Every structure is written in C-alpha cells, then in structure tokens.
Chain A
Amino acid sequence: MISLQPESRSIRPAAARWVCTVLLALCAGLAGCRDRSPPTPRPGAAPPAAGFPRTVALPDGSEVELADRPRRVVVANTALVDASLELLATDRIVALCDQARTWSSLAAHPEIWAGRPTFRHFDAETILAYSPDLVLCSPFSQLETVHVLRGLGIQVVKLADPTTIDELGPRLTLLGRLFDTEERAAELRQDLDARIAALRTRAASREHRPSLVAYSRLGEEGWTMGSGTLIHAAIELAGFENAVAAVGREGARRLPLEDLLALDPEWLLVPAAFGEEDGLSQSSVQRDPRLARLRARRNDRIVAIHPWLFSTTSHEIVTAAEQLAVRLD
C-alpha cells in the first residue's frame, strides 16, 4: 500500500542548500583572498652564488630560470637518480623517490642513501616538507603536484627518459648546468664518451652480430623491448642485434612464448633476481619445457644482469652494455 506520508520526518532542504552555498562561498573566498604570487627573496637571505641567476635550456625547447645555486634538490624521477648522486654531494639532495632504492644504482649500493629520506607519492604536501629549491621529475609526474609547486615559486624541471645512447652525454651536461657542477659533469661525460667509443670500436670489429632478445617474465606473460628503447640501444652498442627490433617491433611490448620460439635468438638477456643469481625470468626460461629447443637455452647463452641495469634509463645503461659485450669476447 502506498503511503503519502514519508516514513520519517525530513531535513529541511533549504538548510542543506544554505550550507552548500556558504561552503562554496567560503571556498571561493579562501582561494581568492591570499596573494598567490611566488615568494620574493627574504631580507637577510644570502646573495646568489656566482653565475646565478642563470637560464638553462631544456631538451623540449623550454627554459628554466634558476635564481640561485640549488641547495635542496628533490629527485622524483628514478632515471635521474644515478646522475644526481654522481654530480651532487648527498647533502644537496634532500629526498629521492622511493623507487630509486630498487631501480637505480642504489639497488647495488644501498649504503649511499642508507637512512636518508625517500618518498612514495609525488604529492605537493610531501614534497613541500623537504623545502626544495629544485625538483626533478618526469614529464608525466603528477600534473597537479607540479602545478602546485610551481605556483609556490619552486623550480620543477621535467625531463623525459633518454631513448638513445647519444642523449646520455648531453643529459649529464644539462644536469651539471642545473646543479652548478659543470666540471664534475664534464669529467663524467668524458669518461662515458670514452666507454661508449670503446664499445662501438669493439662492436665494429666483430664479423657477426649475434641475435639477442631482452626478455623478462614475472608471471605468465613475457615482455621484451624493441627499437626506440634504451635497452635496445645498449644491445646494439654491445655488438648484438636485437632480434625483436629486427622484425620491426618498437617499444616495450608483450612477447608470447610462440613468438620467442619463432625468433629463436642466439642469446637471451634476462633480469636476475635481487641479490641472487637465478631470477624468475631466468629460471622460467631455463626450466620451461616449452622452451627446451630454444637455441640460447641449448647453448647456455642466457645472460642475467641486475634488474636495475635491465630497466635503467640512466647513463648506467652503458654498464649494462659492457656486461653484455664481455660475453662476446
């Protein structure tokens, strides 16, 4: 039976409307009232270091204006951690992204950052707690966070991961200019260029470039890297041919077992487990009966490198290339 009377007394809708209007007005008022202009230098602050303010051109064509030598740097892009640690004294880095402990050279040398702060989320409240004067992140790091930090006058530099070996040296130079450590950057770049040149010479001297597939498998699905990736560049630099790129595949992509069998590379490059010789990718390739006839497995040509080197997009990819090249000697 239908009752025209509601079961319970109502809340007066006008009150709800009122609350809502007041909240909105308060919200707009609070947002509009405070002066949001970037902070001006405080009286008593030290004068800028020599060479500052400076303008630094970025690879995407934009420019960043640094008022002073960065003294409190936050690195929110794992790919920039290796270079930042080499170019800066650790006391000028105030925090690193948490992933750096796993996916940068810190995975192999945790003592460098032992007991120092890392953050899991790139949110404005967290980053602001470190009072940074320079924040390095990737182009697609939380857009809202970048917006808020820039609104507060903090320099945020977005740098895309390099995809070729030739981008690595200029990246070091750029970071050196941002950090005001140009000399150290020049030394590092000189050393890096020499290592790259040596690898290129060795690769050019080889008559045969054996085929190789970079393969990772953490569950049922296998993954590989085609052209346009830094690991592809490292494979070529080491004197191998990336079998996946050779059939026209680009970027990170799935590699079903039947495709791996069809490619049948002479060598396989897999990530090792953390702190162990035998990683999941390696053991799945070595033990999976469906891959028993794979050339690389029959000839015991499976190269396992540390997972952070397998995935790195820093200049340390050259170390991965060197570890690969050694296997051809």
Chain B
Amino acid sequence: MTTGLGASHPRLPPRFAAGLLAAGLVALFLLQLAHSSDLWGSFDLGEVLRGLGAMLGLADPLGADVPIEPGAPQDHSQDALEMRLWRTLTAAGVGALLALAGALLQGLFRNGLASPSLIGVTAGANLGAFVAMLALSGHAHWALWGLGDSGPWLVTLAALAGALGVSGVVVLLGLRGPRPSVATLLLVGVAINTLIAGLLSALQDLVLGDNAAMSALQSWTFGTLYSRQAWHAGLVGLGLLLTVPVIPLVATELDLLASGEDDARALGVATHRTRILVLFAAAVATASAVASAGQIGFVGLVIPHMVRALVGSGHRAVLPLSVLAGAVFLLACDLAQVLVTGDRPLHPGVLMSLIGGPIFLWILLAGLRRSRTW
C-alpha cells in the first residue's frame, strides 16, 4: 500500500472547485439553521434572516410577535436559532481547521497517513480535557485551583493548554540535534502519543464505575457539537485567523519539499523555518478545533486526499481548498446525522469514522487502480 501523497491528476480547475465548495458551504449553512426537527419544526429562510438580523439589532427577535398568554411557556425560537448558529459556525470552523492541519502535516511528512493526531496535539488536548473533567466530577478536585465554577471554560482551556503543551514537547524533542529530520519528529510523535494513550486509559480505568464521569469522557472522545456557544465559534475563528495566513508562506515550500529535504534545501527552501511554521499552524489549528468540539477523527486524514483527488497535489490549491472542503464535509455530516438519526443523534466523531473510513478506502483503492493502469 502506498502511503505517499502521489501525483494525482487534477479533475477540476481549483477556482471552479473553490466556487463549488463555497456555494455548498453557504447552502449547508442555511440548511443547518433552517432544518426541521421534531421539537422545533423548521425555520424558513425569512425567519433565519430575521433571527440573524435580530442578533445584530436590525429586526425583532423570532417569537416576539407571538401573543402573550398568562402562564403560557416562553417562546425560545430566537434562542434556538442562535444555538444553531454557534453550532454551525463551530462545526464549519472545526472541519476547516482539522482539514488544514491534516493537509499541512501530510505535506510536511510527505506521507498520506499523517493526521493532526501525529504530533500529539489531539492526545494533549484529550489529556488536558480529561484531567479537567475528572477534577470537575470530584475525582481530582485539587486540580481545580478554585476554578470549579468556570466549568465549560475550564475544560476548553485545559484542552487547549494540553494540546499546545504536548505538541510543543513533541516539536522540541523532534527537532533537537544539528540536522533534525521529519522522521525523528514522526517517531517522537508516535512515542509521546503512545505514552499519553496509556495515561488516558489509566484515567478512564480509574473512574469506570462513575457513570457521569465516564459519560463525559466518552462524549469528549467522540467529539460533540451540542450546546456550542459564541466563544466556541470565536475560538475556532481565532484558530483560522492564526493559521490561514500561514498558507501562502509554506505552500510552495511544501511542494518543493515533496522531493526530499536535501533537494528542497538545494533549491533555496528554508526547511527549518518551513517545518516550524507548518508545525505551529497545525498545532494551533488542531488545538483550537479539539478544544472547541472534542476529538473528531478522520477529517484531517481524509479531506486532503479528497481535495488532491479533485485538484491535484499542488499545495497552493490543496491547502486553501482543504479549509473549505473540511468545513463543508463536517457541516454536511452534522446536518445529515441531525436529519437521519433525529432524536438519537450520533457523536460527530462516530459519524466521521463511519463515513470517512469507506471514503478513505475508496480513494486508496482508486489510487491503486490508477497506478496499475498507468
């Protein structure tokens, strides 16, 4: 089986693909806000626009014109629409960030199996979040440092700190020595990931009998897009703001690195600087995504392959299109699971594995078929 990136042949002009993805993103955004549920019914486009307008103070909130009857329950349509907005923005942002991180790391490691989990970011986020959750559920109350009332913030911040801390350790250890190589970095990542996986298993094992704590840990492990708030969307927005500007600084360099570090250096690529920039962007992107929505696998692994299958392997197209495609893919999956599974929804991580696994297999088999024909 090939693990390389391969030089696939572009099927679509990148700008056309970008246009399609952008249109898909807008359509999914509106559909996600308007979709019908058994509890809320559906919002029509006018209501969606009015609800968004109300958030900006440009229109009356939804439900404000419902006649008031004494003792009747309050109309929460506007609040529901806002929750959907934060969920939608978070889902799109998380998909975009994970896909970008995957595309960057696959380019750097020149390996199609590289994913954001490789440099320890996901494991670090999980470790931080697990410790915070166990502290909040009373198993390690000492770890709260008196911050027990800031629950949701605490888990997110702990995840962010864990992600950045662990990926920092991986990068520092992996880039030691006079001529650090990506192979060393890869092996350090594997070692640290294994160590943290053991720690996480030990933590889970300690609280197996506590249903509440286990349920929270499980929810985190498979990702969650429920009850997202403005600051979740803001965090992924900040992640995009910090990482998307890195694309033009590394895209051409990653293309040149595809033939090996020595060749790239000979062609004038500052390989060390490129490595640092790519690792920084991948770590920040993954950290802000995982801290906002928990662990959602497969996006970072599959999306860059899908994009390369569409537009070829040039990073100046693959990186920005991965951002768009990741947003579209996670949003589409989230919407699909909401519509299909109804009141028995799946965690996004579960759905991504169920959908992403077969797609990844299909891409690999199609690649093998093409190379045999060639």
Contact = CB atoms under 8 A, between A and B. Distances in A.
Contacts of B312: 7-8
B76 interface: yes
B210 to A, nearest CB: 7
Contacts of A131: 73-76
A181 interface: no
B298 to A, nearest CB: 22
Given A11-B316, A253-B209, A24 B238 contact: yes
Contacts of B219: 142
B155 interface: yes
Contacts of B85: 30
B20 to A, nearest CB: 12
Contacts of B336: none
B344 interface: yes
Contacts of B69: 44
Interface in A130-159: 130-131, 133, 138-148, 152
A144 B228 contact: yes
A33 B59 CA distance: 12
Nearest to A103: B211
Contact of B344 (A8, A72, A120): A120
Interface in B344-367: 344-345
B180 interface: no
Q: Which of B7, B39, B248, B312 has the most CB of A within 10 A?
A: B39
Interface string B65-93: 00011110111100110111101010001
Given A33-B56, A125-B40, A251-B209, A10 B226 contact: no
B309 interface: no
A148 B83 contact: yes
A252 B209 CA distance: 5
Interface residues of B, number: 84
Interface stretch (A14-22, A167-175, A265-273, A289-297): A14-22
Given A9-B13, A121-B226, A124-B226, A34 B57 contact: yes
A29 B313 CA distance: 37
B252 interface: yes
Contacts of A72: 73
B320 A129 contact: no
B21 to A, nearest CB: 10
Interface residues of A, number: 62
B234 A125 contact: no
Interface in A1-54: 2, 4, 6-11, 13-17, 20-21, 23-24, 27-31, 33-34, 39, 42-46
Contacts of A44: 68-70
**Which of B83, B227, B245 has the most C-beta atoms of chain A within 10 angstroms of its own C-beta?**
B227
A42 B230 CA distance: 26
A34 B219 CA distance: 30
A123 interface: yes
B306 to A, nearest CB: 15
Contact of B213 (A140, A148, A253): A140
B83 A10 contact: no
B320 A143 contact: no
B172 interface: no
A6 B248 contact: no
Contacts of B232: 144
Given A24-B237, A147-B151, A13 B15 contact: no
A125 B84 contact: yes
A71 interface: yes
A7 B52 contact: no
Interface string B244-264: 110110011001101100010
A11 B152 contact: no
Contact of A27 (B155, B230, B311, B315): B230
Given A8-B312, A128-B76, A144 B227 contact: yes
A128 B83 contact: yes
Nearest to A226: B209
B343 A120 contact: yes
Interface string B187-218: 00000000000000000000011101100100
A145 B54 CA distance: 23
Interface string A94-127: 0000000000000000000000000111011110
B314 A140 contact: no
B121 interface: no
A173 B322 CA distance: 57
B241 A9 contact: no
B244 A20 contact: yes
A31 B83 contact: no
Given A7-B313, A13-B251, A252-B210, A128 B56 contact: no
B89 to A, nearest CB: 6
Contact of B137 (A28, A126, A139): A139
A13 B323 CA distance: 11
A185 B315 CA distance: 68
Contacts of A123: 226-227
Contacts of A146: 151
B209 A223 contact: yes
A298 interface: no
A269 to B, nearest CB: 16
In the A-B complex, list the 8 residue pairs whose CB atoms are closest, starting with the nearest.
A252-B209, A10-B316, A6-B314, A131-B73, A31-B230, A123-B226, A129-B39, A24-B237
Given A6-B255, A15-B320, A24-B240, 11 more contacts: A7-B313, A8-B14, A8-B311, A11-B18, A11-B320, A24-B241, A27-B230, A34-B56, A45-B70, A125-B80, A144-B228
20 contacts: A6-B316, A9-B317, A10-B320, A11-B317, A11-B321, A16-B320, A16-B323, A24-B234, A27-B237, A39-B74, A121-B345, A125-B37, A125-B40, A125-B83, A129-B80, A131-B74, A143-B155, A144-B152, A144-B227, A145-B227
